[in-house]
Amino acid sequence: MQEIPGGITAPLGFTAAGIHAGLKRKKKDLALVVSRVPAVASAVYTRNLVQAAPLVVTRENLAREGKARAIVCNSGHANACTGQRGYEDARRMAQLVAQEVGCPPWQVVVASTGVIGVPLPMEKLEEGLRRAAALLSPEGGNEAAEAILTTDTVKKEAAATLFLGGKRITIGGMAKGSGMIHPNMATMLAFITTDARVPKELLDRIFKWAVDRTFNMVTVDGDTSTNDMAVILANGLAGNSSFTPKEEEEFSLALKWVCQKLCRMIARDGEGATRLITVEVKGAPGEREAQFIARAVVSSNLVKSAVFGADPNWGRILCAAGYSGVSFDPLKVDVYLGAPGEPLLAVALQGSYHPFDEDRARELLQREEVIICLDLNQGEGKATAWGCDLTYDYVKINASYRS
Amino acid sequence: MQEIPGGITAPLGFTAAGIHAGLKRKKKDLALVVSRVPAVASAVYTRNLVQAAPLVVTRENLAREGKARAIVCNSGHANACTGQRGYEDARRMAQLVAQEVGCPPWQVVVASTGVIGVPLPMEKLEEGLRRAAALLSPEGGNEAAEAILTTDTVKKEAAATLFLGGKRITIGGMAKGSGMIHPNMATMLAFITTDARVPKELLDRIFKWAVDRTFNMVTVDGDTSTNDMAVILANGLAGNSSFTPKEEEEFSLALKWVCQKLCRMIARDGEGATRLITVEVKGAPGEREAQFIARAVVSSNLVKSAVFGADPNWGRILCAAGYSGVSFDPLKVDVYLGAPGEPLLAVALQGSYHPFDEDRARELLQREEVIICLDLNQGEGKATAWGCDLTYDYVKINASYRS
């Protein structure tokens, strides 16, 4: 597997465009991604009970034959809590794209992100969609990645390539942050494309596997949005034959790598964040237990604040693990701090205080990426979660979005 | 039931003292509460898997005969994650108090709050306990309430009296905040006293009922500490006979009232808080469901930030309800904002946008106490949760405790 430049249009047969349709004041707000041929599609949706209209419509669409030709995504309006009209608008978006692309409306994935409770300005969208369709190009991935952003400060793209059975397979992706800013800009969106040929059942399984270990392990503020969605389209143009088990594993790892890269960008770009926090849990009774603990630690306001203040408060780390809901023996747990490429520093051993160099700990906590490692010493389960520090700016951004 | 001044020494037969033993630099740090006669005792402990030594020792002690003569509580050190020595120190605290008071060591409730992972300075404590015992008085409740504080800005006391079967019964209490500041000042402690005569089983049941609806419904930052504990002592000196069912209800409501008053003070005094947020959920499928939703809303960083910014972001409220884990129909939910003594303002009806006066909403959100009300319109379950806004100062306090 090799990292390559580019994003959603890196794989064969995908074109994209990103334009300003007028939902936001100035910034790009409408993205369109199209596959030359129908692609096998798989999606993972928010676990929030309140689900935005585009999610409902996308789920209906993909249930029909599990294939998609296009993804349309607007920013600026979430089309959530918009009543009956919201569903009609989301369906209309799919129809408009279908007309432009020349496919049935159920082959369109619809996504939105932005303000909750305000109906979509459909005239602007309609006109914008026509313009976007005319601009579709294999170089359009970058502009599409820009058009799905809300308060994100950087575009998030990743791509990788690998050879399987002599065929070159490419995976590309774009995402927007989970930071919730402005009135309910409440969404983590991820769109992945690949030219691999992957049967529907296998794609569903691999994609869920990767999402569970990446997008489901990112948190900025612990809130789960009404619009979160991750979608993958596999159009098969790489011409590979069926995966052997080993090839399946290689493809899965490459897919996970692309997702993980996007996740790290999302966490680092969390609202007001100054640092990426990576929490690594090992020695847990099982993987699921490790995931729960990693998420609890990376979501703790106290841990996040301590990292912002470069304060080696290991008690807060252990405390968060303690309320994660996982059953474990706290007296076996070791806690370490670290940074990429640096040896880990033990700050607590066997659940108790262990003398450590405080200056060194503070130094590690001031790095761009802070690693918190918990070794439970009671099993083989491991997991990684990503998040960011809690800063004055998080509060500022979320308290005063209109001023 | 009538509110009266005072706190933990308001009921008959309780004395208390609060002194500076030298665990903290200047502030009072050691509280002692003593009942003239052995009191029936009931306790509720943190759900955190990592439990501090004093909790473990208190649980052991009360398991012996369910009675207590004294409560000792120090602030400054949590005696959590302190290994074997922590248990020995907590047992030693109980022994020292038992000697002073003249009771078996298992009739002593031990509590600590403060820094995690640092052993207790036992010499200072020993000397302090002797001094505190000499100062015990029926007027000492106020000083005890001061000595259990960590970063709280105000003392938290409440008391109420009621007549049952011709006997005057008094309930008093003191508490410290759940705000976690300084290195893991991580604790909500509540101590309740009453002169009512209540059998152990009934006291356990009533106290759990009251705690579930009060202390378990308060959140400042969502983190659950290793040292959280609520204890009640009932010494029977009021001389009442067995409760009739109606009297039991009246006593329960008075107890809940005292707990609730302490809770509101805890929430309002949350770290950096400028406002008390009360979330009222009604029309839920059941009480438990209502509790989950109320807690999710009052714990949401986004809701808390929005209240700080006086931003009527009702979508965030609905979104938090949506990820509470409760199954409900979002399209039936109405959301209101309010303030004590003011009519509620509908900001969303049937899960969708409802036109409202934005200026009026902002005005309500700037009150000292903000009420958020969700009517699910799908049952009889209701619950209330208390919390506070998320402010710059929360981050400041928790990021830079040592500077």
Give the separation between CA B198 and CA B67, rounded to whole angstroms: 12
- Cα torsion through A8, A11, A15, A21, rounded to 10: 0
Q: Say if residue A326 is in the same domain as residue A252.
A: no
For residue B219, pLDDT over 60 is answered with yes
Residue ending a domain, among A214, A243, A268, is A268
Give the model's pLDDT for residue B400: 57
Give the model's pLDDT for residue A403: 34
> Rounded to 5 degrees, what are φ and ψ at B75?
-115, 160
Q: Say if residue B48 is in the same domain as residue B188.
A: yes
Give the separation between CA B43 and CA A286, rounded to whole angstroms: 33
Q: Say if residue A214 is in the same domain as residue A71.
A: yes
Q: Is A358 on the interface with B (CB under 8 A)?
A: no
Q: Is A401 on the interface with B (CB under 8 A)?
A: yes
For chain A, report the end-to-end CA distance as a whole number of angstroms: 47
Instruction: Find where tokens 């408009």 sit.
Output: A96
Q: What is the mean pLDDT of chain A?
A: 92
Q: Say if residue A97 is in the same domain as residue A204.
A: yes
Average of pLDDT values for B192-216?
96
Residues B237 and B193 sit within 8 Å (Cβ to Cβ): no
Confidence of residue B185 (pLDDT cuts 50, 70, 90): very low
Q: Do B49 and A330 touch (CB under 8 A)?
A: yes
Residue A97 sits at the vertex; the CA angle it makes with A96 and A100, to the nearest 5 degrees, is 90
Q: Is B25 on the interface with A (CB under 8 A)?
A: no
Confidence of residue B366 (pLDDT cuts 50, 70, 90): very high
Give the model's pLDDT for residue B166: 93
Average of pLDDT values for A255-283?
94
For residue B322, pLDDT over 50 is answered with yes
Average of pLDDT values for A13-40?
97
Give the separation between CA A165 and CA B129, rounded to whole angstroms: 77
Residues A159 and A138 sit within 8 Å (Cβ to Cβ): no
Q: Do A352 and B82 touch (CB under 8 A)?
A: yes
Q: Say if residue A93 is in the same domain as residue A43.
A: yes
Q: Say if residue A280 is in the same domain as residue A218.
A: no
Chain B residue numbers with beta carbons less than 8 Å from the beta carbon of A396 are 392
Q: Is B285 on the interface with A (CB under 8 A)?
A: no
Chain B residue numbers with beta carbons less than 8 Å from the beta carbon of A51 are 322
pLDDT, tens digit (0-9, with 9 covering 90-100), for B83-100: 889 999 999 999 999 999
Give the model's pLDDT for residue B40: 98
Crossing angle for the helix pair A245-268 and A200-213, nearest 10 degrees?
Answer: 40
Q: The domain containing residue A115 runs over which residues?
A: 2-268
Which ranges in A182-336 belong to alpha helices (H)? 200-213, 245-268, 287-299, 301-308, 314-322
Q: Do A180 and B316 touch (CB under 8 A)?
A: yes
For residue B223, pLDDT over 90 is answered with no
Residues A71 and A235 sit within 8 Å (Cβ to Cβ): no
We report the CATH number of the domain holding residue A370 as 3.10.20.340
B30: how many CB neighbours lie within 10 A of its CB?
Answer: 27
Token code pair at residue B313: 């972001």
Nearest to B300 among A223, A300, A309 (CB): A223
Q: Do B183 and A323 touch (CB under 8 A)?
A: no
pTM: predicted TM-score of the whole model, two decimal places: 0.85
Q: Do A319 and B400 touch (CB under 8 A)?
A: no
For residue B271, pLDDT over 90 is answered with no
How many distinct helices (H) and strands (E) make up chain A?
11, 15
Average of pLDDT values for A105-124?
93
Which one of A313, A314, A324, A349 makes the best mutation probe of the B interface by having the most chain B beta carbons within 10 Å?
A313
Q: Say if residue A239 is in the same domain as residue A116.
A: yes
Q: Is A308 on the interface with B (CB under 8 A)?
A: yes
Chain B residue numbers with beta carbons less than 8 Å from the beta carbon of A395 are 305, 308, 390-392, 394-395
Chain B residue with CA closest to A330: the answer is: B50
In angstroms, the separation between the Cα of residue B42 and the nearest Cα of chain A is: 23
Chain A residue numbers with beta carbons less than 8 Å from the beta carbon of B300 are 222-223
Give the separation between CA A157 and CA A41, rounded to whole angstroms: 19
Which ranges in B105-154 belong to alpha helices (H)? 122-135, 141-147
H/E run at residue B30: strand B30-45
Average of pLDDT values for B177-191?
63
Confidence of residue A11 (pLDDT cuts 50, 70, 90): very high
pLDDT, tens digit (0-9, with 9 covering 90-100), for B108-162: 999 999 888 889 999 999 999 999 999 999 999 999 999 999 888 899 999 999 9
Give the separation between CA A99 and CA B141, rounded to whole angstroms: 76
Chain A residue numbers with beta carbons less than 8 Å from the beta carbon of B335 are none
Give the model's pLDDT for residue A402: 39
- Non-local CB neighbours of B363 within 8 Å, separated by 6+ positions: none
Q: Do B392 and A392 touch (CB under 8 A)?
A: yes
Higher pLDDT, A205 or A402: A205
Give the model's pLDDT for residue A381: 97
Chain B residue with CA closest to A180: the answer is: B302
Confidence of residue A393 (pLDDT cuts 50, 70, 90): confident
**What's A107's DSSP letter?**
G
**Pairs of CB atoms within 8 A across A/B:** 218
Active site residues of B: 187
Active site residues of A: 187
For residue B402, pLDDT over 80 is answered with no
Confidence of residue B182 (pLDDT cuts 50, 70, 90): very low
For residue B230, pLDDT over 90 is answered with yes
Give the separation between CA A76 and CA A84, rounded to whole angstroms: 20
Nearest to B311 among A82, A331, A401 (CB): A401
User: Of A235-239, A312-316, A321-325, B264-268, which one has max mean pLDDT?
Assistant: A235-239
Chain A residue numbers with beta carbons less than 8 Å from the beta carbon of B82 are 352-353
Which one of B46, B47, B48, B50 makes the best mutation probe of the A interface by having the most chain A beta carbons within 10 Å?
B50
Using DSSP's 3-state secondary structure scheme, residue A321 falls into helix
We report the CATH number of the domain holding residue A104 as 3.60.70.12
CB contacts under 8 A, A 85-124 vs B, are 115-118
Give the model's pLDDT for residue A400: 56
Q: Is B215 on the interface with A (CB under 8 A)?
A: no
Average of pLDDT values for A90-116?
96
Q: Say if residue B324 is in the same domain as residue B264.
A: no
Give the separation between CA A65 and CA B239, rounded to whole angstroms: 76
Q: Is B272 on the interface with A (CB under 8 A)?
A: no
Report in angstroms the alpha-carbon separations of B241 from B67, B169, B217, B238: 19, 11, 32, 9
Chain A residue numbers with beta carbons less than 8 Å from the beta carbon of B83 are 331, 350-353
Q: Say if residue A195 is in the same domain as residue A98.
A: yes
CB contacts under 8 A, A 221-260 vs B, are 221-226
Q: Is A81 on the interface with B (CB under 8 A)?
A: yes
Q: Is B399 on the interface with A (CB under 8 A)?
A: yes
For residue A138, pLDDT over 70 is answered with yes
Chain B residue with CA closest to A400: the answer is: B309
Q: Say if residue B141 is in the same domain as residue B182.
A: yes
ipTM of the complex: 0.78
Q: CA A139, A140, A144, A146 torsion: positive or negative?
A: positive
Q: Do B223 and A301 touch (CB under 8 A)?
A: yes
Give the model's pLDDT for residue A89: 97
Q: Do A322 and B221 touch (CB under 8 A)?
A: no
**What's B106's DSSP letter?**
G
Q: Say if residue A140 is in the same domain as residue A73.
A: yes
pLDDT, tens digit (0-9, with 9 covering 90-100), for B30-63: 999 999 999 999 999 988 888 899 999 999 999 9
For residue B13, pLDDT over 60 is answered with yes
Residue ending a domain, among B238, B268, B298, is B268
Confidence of residue B184 (pLDDT cuts 50, 70, 90): very low
Of the ranges A230-239, A338-347, B297-306, B358-367, which one carries the lowest mean pLDDT score? B297-306
Give the model's pLDDT for residue B179: 61
For residue B221, pLDDT over 90 is answered with no
Give the model's pLDDT for residue B181: 37
Q: Do B316 and A186 touch (CB under 8 A)?
A: yes
Residue ending a domain, among A206, A233, A268, is A268
Q: Say if residue A15 is in the same domain as residue A62.
A: yes
Nearest to B225 among A226, A319, A396 (CB): A319
Average of pLDDT values for A44-55?
89
Q: What is the mean pLDDT of chain B?
A: 92
- What percentage of chain A reaches a pLDDT higher than 90? 76
Chain A residue numbers with beta carbons less than 8 Å from the beta carbon of B391 are 395, 399
Token code pair at residue A216: 């489901």
Chain A residue numbers with beta carbons less than 8 Å from the beta carbon of B301 are 221-223, 301, 394, 398
Give the model's pLDDT for residue A51: 87
For residue A104, pLDDT over 60 is answered with yes
Q: Is B327 on the interface with A (CB under 8 A)?
A: yes
Q: Is A321 on the interface with B (CB under 8 A)?
A: yes
Q: Is A346 on the interface with B (CB under 8 A)?
A: no
Average of pLDDT values for A41-57?
91
Chain A residue numbers with beta carbons less than 8 Å from the beta carbon of B314 are 117
Q: Which of B200, B61, B194, B390 lies closest to A396 in space, CA to CA?
A: B390
In angstroms, the separation between the Cα of residue B240 and the nearest Cα of chain A is: 41
Confidence of residue A271 (pLDDT cuts 50, 70, 90): confident
- C-alpha R_g of chain A: 21
pLDDT, tens digit (0-9, with 9 covering 90-100), for B371-393: 999 999 999 999 999 999 988 88
Q: Is B83 on the interface with A (CB under 8 A)?
A: yes
Residues A304 and A193 sit within 8 Å (Cβ to Cβ): no
Chain B residue numbers with beta carbons less than 8 Å from the beta carbon of A318 are 50, 81, 116, 226
Give the separation between CA A19 and CA A74, rounded to whole angstroms: 10
pLDDT, tens digit (0-9, with 9 covering 90-100), for A168-192: 999 999 999 866 433 344 578 999 9
Domain count for chain A: 2
Q: Do B322 and A50 touch (CB under 8 A)?
A: yes
Which one of A185, A275, A305, A358 makes the best mutation probe of the B interface by having the most chain B beta carbons within 10 Å?
A305
